[in-house]
Amino acid sequence: MPEFSLCSNPQCALPNNELTATDCVSCGESLLLNGQYRIVELLGQGGFGRTFKAIDEEHPQKKYCAIKQFLPQQVQAKEKVIELFEQEAKRLQTLGNHNQIPALYDYFQVGDRQYLVQEFIDGKNLAQELEELGKFTAADITKLLKELLPVLRIIHRRQVIHRDIKPENIIRRTPTKATEKSTLVLVDFGASKHATETTLGKTGTMIGSAAFIAPEQVRGKATFASDLYSLGVTCIHLLTAIAPFDLLDTGDNKWVWQDFVDKKFDPKLTRILNKLLEPATNRRYQQADDVLEDLHAPARAKKFPLKGAIAATLIIGLGVVGANALLTPIRQKLNPSVVVQNPDLPPFPAGLYATIDGNEQNLTLKNTEVDAKVSGNIAEVEVIQTFANPYDQPLEAIYKFPLPDDAAVDDMEIKIGNQTIRGVIKRSEEAEAIYEEAKEDGKTAALLEQERDNIFTQSLANILPGEEIEVTIRYSNSLKFEGEDYEFVFPMVVAPRYGDGNIQASSIGGATSAKALPKNRSGQDISVNLEIDAGVPIQNLTSPTHEIATQSLSGSTGISLANADEIPNKDLIVRYQVTGKETQATMLAQADQRGGHFATYLIPAVDYQKDEIVPKDVVFLMDTSGSQRGAAIRQSKELMRQFIQGLNPQDTFTIMDFSNTTKKLSRVPLDNTETNRQKALKYVNKISANGGTELMNGINEVMTFPEAEDGRLRTIVLLTDGLIGDDRTIIGMMEKQLKPGNRIFTFGVGYSTNHFLINRLAEVGRGESEILPESEDPKGVVAEFFEEINNPVLTNVEVSWVGGGDRPEIYPEHMPDLYDSQPLVLHGKKGDRQNGQLKVTGTIAGGKPYEKVFDVNFDQVQGNGAIAQLWGRAKIKEYMNDMYWMETTEGVNTVTNTALDYRLVSDYTSFVAVSDEVRVDSRAETLTQDVPLEKPEGMEFDALNAPTSAGSASTDDMAAESAIAPTPNTNQAPQAQTTPVPVAKNVAPSQQSNNGNSKDVPEPSHIIGNLLVLITLGFFFWKRRQQKKAKQSG
């Protein structure tokens, strides 16, 4: 328990005060820093300021936090202090939330002093551990490296160099629960820098602790490898308990740490540490992934003492190769039906498989059935997942799957035989605890969690051998309206994502490998049935992604997938139009015990002058990473050609393209002249797709552009698939840094697009988003885009309430500008259920006022229950948009309470369902299997796994992994295929079976094989003869 409340004034003579005091008795300064934080302990101080432990008085649990006070000891250092303050705040925001990096809660300035408020890490740093426990062992250092290197990988991918890694800046977090493990946390990012920035100050400015920094860092030239060097120095200091300067022979410029450890010290770890400590940067490890790869590699075998054994091994190897080639035609002659399949073809029908003991086996997710009904503008969807256990042990299945990013997921139940168990909504940590306890007790349990706004995880524990269990998930969402089309979307794939620090891309990528999963899937493992009841007749029903079949129902239209045998692995999009203009202004109301809820859809029917075009400064931002390779980059380039040709005479423009690095057509926007258009077209034509999706770099470049001049609109047009791991960080940064007058328009281009990122960026940027299937005509898309942005239909939109009671709680809080055929969608709640009118006002292009009034009546209205759920989802979305940059206590509490009140899955709430009876012996061994997802159609996995430069994703992060499962119970597993295996395409002649009509002409490879056998045998006998002669002469 704290004893004092400390004054933050560095000149205060008597800083200690009573714990409950509000003002310092010595100097009179407030003891509540920024009106919120009470300092209770000095943790440390240095040349640039002090660090305190404080209590957040506004937090419900009075949570501890760490506060950095930036305070120079010399007047001339003030600029450096301000620079370090802004730098650390920026770095922590860039890095986002990670349990091994302290979270940033707040930053502010009081008087002439700057403050950072961070997560308080309760624990001891490694310097303290060394002093108390003594030297670290080789096992301790190996564990340390395995725990810290993934953190460095994350910060380096964010283009951040820490520059001050040392034992004092590594804290072992004390577990808060008995079941938790201690983790190492990397702290103090005050010295960090962005990899693309110039060095702080001029060359020669040294930031960091001198004993631990790399030679190039001393010269002010820090790189990612500099952090690895500092980590290496930290390791040898912990191993020896000797100061780093005493471990370096300055005469030979050589580390002598091995003189202070046991002679039998782990040789593999020795090699790794010495490579970390290489003075020359080009001989040192360049990336954290490289070190991890060596750490996980098996130890080298001891050298065999006889040199002759090496030659013998080569001889035997050559003999085996030759013999195999010699025997191949004989095997084929004895068994002419044998065919060597093309490895790119799956050995089983398309579906979900795992590789088990080298063989493809059926996975636990047998089928997904989707039943959706559209009523007016709202879709209510039921997803039924059937899991089966083909093994002879109890099974836990874990399946990650996509849903629409705006889905209000409000129900989950499991069906075991004739028993149905409905899930309950709980705080996520409570739901997980209930699930784990049920799993340990032998009960069947299901847990539905939100991993991202559009990615969910279904865990199902204790499926009995041979048993099938159904999991039903229900959600509702609003249809998107664009142009004249309503659009229903059901996502079918989760593509691999680049550079994911919190959720590994491999875990959500899902494919066993590029070869194992084809671009199509069996119609037996997914079915979709959609019913559209628009209230009026519909027309022009199409799907740009799948072949569909339609049928007329009673007052509605039924839609299903036409080709049940082969379904493309891509998101399903269905579009349709309605006859008449009735839906241009719709008010839907609903009332229950929680209050009255309403949803408003408005497309302003106004006349405006289309010749009053606002001049624009357009920045085109193109994704040219490896995931765009193939048809995606071709579509993106064709879009760019159309964009360039469609600009207005008064517009200016430039182009930036990003992958690992960012390139640009020009440093400033160019005038729209013929010369500049031709220059831009040549630039586009030379673009190719390769590398990682470093969208952050592209965004940072755009943000450096000056604000648009008065009377001009800065328009940012982003073309991307959005397949990045840190999408929330991007959204938060864009929302925080977007300049006034800027608008963001996003186009999802690629084989599988991240709808969440593409939609949210457009929302926070007050623009529009569009997802483009491969079949979409770029010319029509671009023409529609320019027609929209050239003429904002309605601006300065405001919503007011006319009537009794309190004003409704309406989301979104900030109304966007409306473009041609773009609807205004509002979700409201009136807790007192008093009737009234909703008034929408604005300014029509040309300056005329606009007003539309809706009657809102909750009397005797039951209405569609989805209206209430969509309001809850809209409120959560509003608060989450504000917290992608930084979580707040108020925001977390509001989202959690809203999700609990409306039974919604969120970042902080999950569904859990548990059977009453114990179904599995708690002592029995249980298998756990991750169910992989299909590879998106057209995506080239070799493009994702292609070697990239430092800071880009590794193969492990981009490739999708297979789930390795035990051998299935042959009594329960599906029967083996009895149909003949088809002859594979593109098989070499030597691999095809002989039908008896051709002569047995030896292949060149067989002739070479025969020669190899003869040469090998000859060499062997010659060697033996030489050895005998040597013995006789000896």
* Angstrom distance (rounded) from CA 232 to CA 278: 9
pLDDT at 363: 52
Q: Is the pLDDT of residue 541 over 80?
A: yes
Residues whose CB is less than 8 angstroms from the CB of residue 954 and which lie 6 or more positions away in sequence, other chains included: 287, 289
Which residues share a beta bridge with 480?
487
> How many other CB atoms are there within 10 angstroms of residue 430's CB atom?
12
HSE (side-chain half, CA atoms, 13 Å) at 329: 15
Contact assessment for residue 744 and residue 719, using Cβ atoms and an 8 Å cutoff: no
Which residues share a beta bridge with 656?
621, 664
* Angstrom distance (rounded) from CA 324 to CA 322: 5
> For residue 84, what pLDDT band results from cuts at 50, 70 and 90?
low
Q: Three-class SS of residue 77?
A: helix
pLDDT at 377: 86
pLDDT tens track for 98-156: 778 888 888 888 887 888 888 898 899 999 999 999 999 999 999 999 999 988 988 88
pLDDT at 581: 55
Average confidence score pLDDT of the chain: 77
| Residues annotated catalytic, as ranges | 164
Helix ranges (H only) for 335-463 are 428-441
Residue 615: asked if its preceding bond is cis (omega within 30°), the reply is: no
* Angstrom distance (rounded) from CA 564 to CA 521: 10
* Angstrom distance (rounded) from CA 322 to CA 326: 6
- Angle 886-887-890 (CA atoms, 0-180°, nearest 5)? 135
Q: Which residue has the higher pLDDT, 695 or 1027?
A: 695
Distance of CA 27 to the CA centre of its chain: 50
> For residue 96, what pLDDT band results from cuts at 50, 70 and 90?
low
C-alpha separations of 485 from 610, 777, 1023 in Å: 22, 15, 81
Largest CA distance in the chain: 117
Average pLDDT over residues 655-679: 89
> For residue 70, what pLDDT band results from cuts at 50, 70 and 90?
confident
pLDDT at 426: 96
pLDDT tens track for 162-218: 888 999 999 998 887 766 677 899 987 654 444 433 333 333 334 457 789 888 887
Phi and psi, residue 922, nearest 5°: -60, -20
pLDDT at 1010: 58
Q: Three-class SS of residue 858?
A: coil
Q: Three-class SS of residue 686?
A: coil
DSSP state string for 318-370? HHHHHHHHHHHHHHHHH-TT-----TTS-SSSSS-EEEETTEEEE-SEEEEEE
Average pLDDT over residues 878-901: 89
Alpha-carbon Rg for the chain in angstroms: 33
pLDDT at 973: 36
* Angstrom distance (rounded) from CA 543 to CA 489: 10
Which residues share a beta bridge with 588?
599
Of 903, 792, 808, 777, which Cα lies nearest the Cα of 842? 792
Distance of CA 584 to the CA centre of its chain: 37
> How many other CB atoms are there within 10 angstroms of residue 824's CB atom?
21
The two beta strands, 160-161 and 32-33, are: unpaired
> For residue 965, what pLDDT band results from cuts at 50, 70 and 90?
very low
pLDDT at 147: 92
Average pLDDT over residues 343-366: 40
> For residue 882, what pLDDT band results from cuts at 50, 70 and 90?
confident
Average pLDDT over residues 402-429: 93
Q: Which amino acid is at 1?
A: M
* Percent of the chain residues topping a pLDDT of 70: 71
Of 444, 576, 400, 545, which Cα lies nearest the Cα of 926? 444
Q: Is the pLDDT of residue 873 over 90?
A: yes
Q: What interhelical angle do 727-737 and 78-95 show, nearest 10?
A: 140
- Angle 321-325-328 (CA atoms, 0-180°, nearest 5)? 135
pLDDT at 493: 76
pLDDT at 631: 81
Please tell me the least confidently modeled range out of 576-590, 686-700, 864-878, 1002-1016. Answer: 1002-1016
* Percent of the chain residues topping a pLDDT of 90: 33
pLDDT tens track for 609-665: 555 667 888 999 998 888 788 888 888 999 999 999 989 888 999 999 988 788 889
Q: Which amino acid is at 128?
A: Q
| Contacts within 8 Å (CB) and 24+ apart, 62-67 | 63/120, 63/889, 64/120, 64/122, 65/37, 65/105, 65/117, 65/118, 65/119, 65/120, 66/102, 66/117, 66/118, 66/119, 66/120, 66/121, 67/33, 67/37, 67/39, 67/115, 67/116, 67/117, 67/118
3-state secondary structure 159-227: CEECCCCCHHHEEEECCCCCCCCCEEEECCCCCCEECCCCCCCCCCCCCCCHHHCCHHHHCCCCCHHHH
Contact assessment for residue 406 and residue 478, using Cβ atoms and an 8 Å cutoff: yes
Q: Which residue has the higher pLDDT, 354 or 882?
A: 882
In this structure, the dihedral spanned by the alpha carbons of residues 443, 932, 757 and 723, taken in order and rounded to 10 degrees, is: 150
The two beta strands, 365-375 and 378-388, are: antiparallel
pLDDT at 471: 93
Of 849, 375, 850, 874, which Cα lies nearest the Cα of 583? 375
Q: Three-class SS of residue 688?
A: coil
Q: Is the pLDDT of residue 942 over 80?
A: no
* Token couple for 969: 């119970």
What's the DSSP call for residue 73? S
What is the dihedral sign for C-alpha 460, 430, 402, 628?
Answer: negative
Please tell me the least confidently modeled range out of 110-114, 352-356, 377-381, 750-754. Answer: 352-356
* Angstrom distance (rounded) from CA 997 to CA 983: 18
pLDDT at 790: 74
Contact assessment for residue 647 and residue 790, using Cβ atoms and an 8 Å cutoff: no
Domains of the chain, start order: 5-119 (3.30.200.20), 123-296 (1.10.510.10), 309-340+987-1034 (no CATH), 595-612+792-856 (2.60.40), 616-790 (3.40.50.410)
pLDDT tens track for 842-868: 888 667 888 999 999 888 666 788 999
